[in-house]
């Protein structure tokens, strides 16, 4: 059996303010660094066969909190990067809605198959993230593997692994900052056993501003 863990990076200044943040590359803020450390400490007592990470600074910082404690160097996987929000990067939702009301309304109807201006669709993200899953499952029929990624990308991967409509990723699946999701994959069949778990975080970091 393969134990597949997915963790969203810790808090950034943009996630705290619920801003569009996909292709831009903010680092973890002070709270995010505490979250990463808490994760690294809590999960260091497990044996890890591999750690895969999005190339963004915030995910690599989160991955490294575990890597330095286990000696397992992260493998950078471009397919795990966050969905690109194009022209809306760094904006709050209300800012984009105010500036481009018609485009925002059009996008909000179907955020999976429609993209923000010059951004990506969820289906495009699913295609590239699926290639990482194929690489992981091809190289690790059993053991324990961690994927360090982002809010939208993880929610899209959860849909893909469960075989449910990707169109539900934004409204049906939660993934707080630094939350852990786990699948057990046996005989090629993924079973969701943990979703959006933040029990490894100190109590004062479990209910904070942002998303």
From 188, 173, 174, 154, select the one nearest 82 (Cα to Cα): 154
Q: What is the pLDDT of residues 130-152, one digit of tens each?
A: 999 999 999 999 999 999 999 99
CATH number for 186: 3.40.50.1240
Average pLDDT over residues 107-128: 95
Q: Quick check: is 115 in a domain? A: no
Q: What is the pLDDT of residue 211?
A: 73
Could you identify the residue written with the tokens 């998303």?
A: 211
- 38 in a domain, yes or no? yes
Whether pTM > 0.85 for this model: the answer is yes
Mean model confidence pLDDT for the chain: 96
Q: Is residue 184 part of a domain?
A: yes
- Band the pLDDT of 209: cuts 50, 70, 90: confident
Catalytic pick among 9, 120, 150, 200: 9
- The stretch 40-61 carries a mean pLDDT of 98
pLDDT at 8: 98
Report if residue 110 sits inside a domain. Answer: no
In a domain, 25, yes or no: yes
Predicted local distance difference test score (pLDDT) of residue 178: 97
Q: How many domains in the chain?
A: 1
User: Does 200 qualify as catalytic in the annotation?
Assistant: no
Q: Is residue 102 a part of any domain in this protein?
A: no
Is the predicted pLDDT of residue 210 greater than 80, yes or no?
Answer: no
**Structural domain harbouring 81:** 2-85+121-205
Q: How far is C-alpha 172 from the chain's CA centre?
A: 15
What digits encode the pLDDT tens for the residues 19-36? 999 999 999 999 999 999
User: Does residue 35 belong to any structural domain of this protein?
Assistant: yes
Q: Residues 3, 82, 120, 150: which is the catalytic one?
A: 82
Q: Is residue 47 part of a domain?
A: yes
140 included as an active-site residue: no
């Amino acid at each position: 059996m393969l134990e597949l863990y997915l963790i969203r990076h810790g808090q950034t200044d943009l996630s705290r303010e619920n801003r569009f943040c996909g292709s831009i590359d903010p680092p973890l803020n002070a709270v995010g660094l505490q979250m990463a450390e808490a994760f690294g400490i809590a999960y260091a007592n497990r044996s890890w066969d591999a750690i895969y990470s999005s190339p963004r600074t915030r995910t690599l910082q989160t991955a490294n909190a575990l890597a330095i404690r286990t000696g397992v160097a992260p493998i950078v996987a471009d397919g795990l990067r966050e969905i690109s929000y194009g022209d809306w990067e760094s904006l709050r939702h209300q800012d984009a809605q105010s500036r481009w009301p018609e485009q925002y309304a059009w996008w909000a109807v179907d955020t999976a198959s429609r993209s923000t201006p010059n951004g990506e669709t969820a289906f495009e993200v699913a295609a590239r993230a699926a290639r990482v899953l194929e690489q992981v499952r091809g190289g690790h029929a059993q053991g324990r593997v961690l994927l360090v990624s982002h809010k939208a990308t993880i929610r899209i991967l959860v849909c893909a692994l469960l075989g449910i409509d990707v169109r539900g990723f934004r409204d049906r699946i939660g993934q707080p900052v630094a939350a852990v999701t786990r699948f057990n994959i046996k005989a090629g069949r993924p079973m969701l056993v943990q979703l959006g778990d933040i029990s490894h975080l100190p109590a004062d970091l479990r209910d904070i501003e942002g998303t």
